[in-house]
Structure formats: C-alpha cells, structure tokens
Structure 1
C-alpha cells in the first residue's frame, strides 16, 4: 500500500489553488448542515460518484472542519494523482486481500493517533443514480475497532440548473455514535450506514430537483 506523506506546506499552497479552481469549475457549492465538528477524531463516510469528491473534502476541511484528515483512495487513482498523498491520502487495493487488511490497519492507527479518516465505502466511483450504494464492510470493521469514534455521513449530488457550469449540493449529518448505529456485527452496521447514506443522498437529490436553495449556503461565497 501507499502511505500518506502529509505536508502542511503543501496543504497551505494547495488551498490557495483549490478555491479558484472550484470557482472556475462550478457555479455553486450548496451546503446544508456544513458546520464544525468538535469531536476529534471522526470517520467521514460519503457516496462516491466523481473525482471531485476528494477535493471537496479537502476544501470543506480547510474552510470549516479543520481536522487532521487522511483519506483512503483506490491505489490506481492515488498513483494517477499522487499529489493527494501530500494532502493525507493513503491507498487500498481491493484486488489484494492482504493489502485491504494493511490499509484498514493503517486507518486504525491514524484514528488511534487522533486523526480523522475519510472513507468512500463504495470503493470505486459509481454513477450517482446507482442503487444500492453497496458499501464494503471496511467501515463496519473500523466502527468495531474504534467504537469511541463517531461516524459523520456526507453526501454529494452533482447537478445542472440555470448556469453554464454545474453545481454541487452537499449535506452533512450529525455525528453518529456507536449507540446510534444499528446492529452488532460488521455486516449489520455496514448495512445500516449504507441505508443511512442512501436515504440522505435521495433526500438531497429531491432538494436539488425542487431547487430548494433557501436552506442551503453557497460555500463559494458567491451571491
């Protein structure tokens, strides 16, 4: 596996590059419930339908959460975009069972050190309309190993509305403690979290279709 090689200097420089990039690429980043998370560490989980998802996580962390985040990425993608390593990304190879174990153990170690971890439990990028989201049990494994660490569901929905550029609708839910995650086995907890994120994503889609922007904030700071 490829471990993270996080660089504070690189993070600061990349943040200066990222905001203009997002403003050039999207008309709006519409956020609901995006707020600081006093609990540290946390496990972030999200649906995964775009290359942009990882960059949006770094943007939200830099501007709002300010956690020491590390992100699990598919090894082939991390090799292609190696700069993510300096932002805290580490790899997983789903085709190699031993590598899966090493990656999950590495995530365990990061959480034990007080660092927050970002997981895309679908494993790969899938079209945002595909159902079910089909989570792997890695998230259930980490919840089992770190029952004291809450899980924060994040959902992304990409849409075109009335502008030339697309927009992203983003929703953050309250942290889920182990007591709020139904089930006792990895499989049961994974299924609960899969259903939770699916329902959150479907609700976000309805907001986008209805153009219910009144309760959403534009995170790009545009009028």
Structure 2
C-alpha cells in the first residue's frame, strides 16, 4: 500500500488553487446540515460517483470541519494523482487481500493517533444512480475495531438545472455511534450503513429534482 505524506504547507497552497477551480467548475455547492463536528476522530463515509468527491471533502474540511483527515483511495488512482498523498490520501488495492488488511490496519493507526478517516465504501466510482451502493465490509471492520469512533455519513449528488455549469448537492448526516449502528457482525453493520447512505442520497436526489433549495446554503459563497 501507499501511505500518506500529508503536508500542511501543501494543503495551504492547494486550497489557493482549489477554491477558484471549484468556482469555475460549478455554479453552486448546495450544502444541507454541513456543520462543525467535535474535535475528535471520526470516520466519514460517502457515496462515490465522481473524481470530484475527494476534492469536495478537502474543501469541506478546510472551510468547515478543520479536522486532520486522511482518505482511503484506490491505489491505481493514487498512483495517477500522486498529489493526493500530500493531502492525506493513502491507498488500498481491492484485488489483493493482504493489501486490504494493511490499508485497514493503517486506517486503525490513524484513528489511534487522533486523526479522522474518510472512506468511500463502494471502493470505486460508480454512476450516482446505480443501486445498491454495495459497500465493502471495511467500514464494518473499522467500526468493530474502534467502537468509540462515530461515523458521519456524507451524500453527494451532481445535477444540472438552469445554468451552464453543474452544481453539487451535499448532505451531512447525523453521527452514528456504535449503539445506533444495528447489527453485531461486520456484515450486518456494513449493511445498515449502506442502507442509511442510500436513503440519504435518494432523499438528496428528490430535493434536487424538486429544486428545493430552502434548507441548503451555497457553500461556494460561504467559502
């Protein structure tokens, strides 16, 4: 696996590059319930349909959460976009069982060190309309090994409306404690979180189709 090489200096410089890029690329980043969270380790999980997802996590963390986040990323993509290592990305190779274990153990180490971890439990990018989201059991493993760490689900939905550029709808769900994640096995807990994020994304889609922006704020303007 490829470990992260996070650099605070690189993060600051990258933010200067990223924020204008987002403004050029999207008409709006519409966020609902995107808010600060306690300054302790959390596990973020999200659906994964676009290359932008990781960059949106960086934007949200830089502007709102301000955690020391590290992101699990497919090895082939991290090899292609090596700069993600300096933003805290580390790799996983799904075809190699030993590498999967090493990556999950590395994520455990990060949590023990007080860092937050971002997972895309689908493992790869899939079209945002594909169902089921089909989560791998890595999230169930981390919940089992670190029951004290809450899980925060994030949903992304990409859409076009009345402007030339697309927009992103973003929803931050409530924290799940171990007591709120149903099931006693890794598989059962993974299935519960898969169902929760699926419902979250489907609800976000309905809001986008209805153009119901009343509960959302434009994070591009706020940022």
- What's 1:150 paired with? 150
Say whether the 8 Å CA contact 2:29–2:167 is kept in structure 1: yes
Tell me the SS of whatever aligns to 2:35: coil
Distance 1:95 1:174 in 2: 32
Matched, 1:214 2:214: yes
Distance 2:79 2:37 in 1: 31
- What's 2:50 paired with? 50
Tell me the SS of whatever aligns to 1:141: helix
CA RMSD, Structure 1 to Structure 2 (Å): 0.7
- What's 1:59 paired with? 59
Tell me the SS of whatever aligns to 1:220: helix
- What's 1:136 paired with? 136
Distance 1:189 1:83 in 2: 33
Residue 174 of structure 1: CA displacement?
1.2
Say whether the 8 Å CA contact 2:93–2:99 is kept in structure 1: yes
- What's 2:81 paired with? 81
Residue 39 of structure 1: CA displacement?
4.6
- What's 1:36 paired with? 36
Partner deviation per Cα, 1:36-80 (whole Å, 9 max, x = no partner): 001510000000000000000000000000000000000000000
How many residue pairs were aligned?
222
- What's 1:169 paired with? 169
Partner deviation per Cα, 1:191-217 (whole Å, 9 max, x = no partner): 000000000000000000000001100
Unaligned runs of 5+ in 2: none
Point out 4+ residue stretches in structure 1 off by more than 3 angstroms. none
Matched, 1:91 2:91: yes
TM (norm. structure 1) is: 0.99
Tell me the SS of whatever aligns to 2:220: coil
- What's 1:2 paired with? 2
Distance 1:17 1:177 in 2: 36
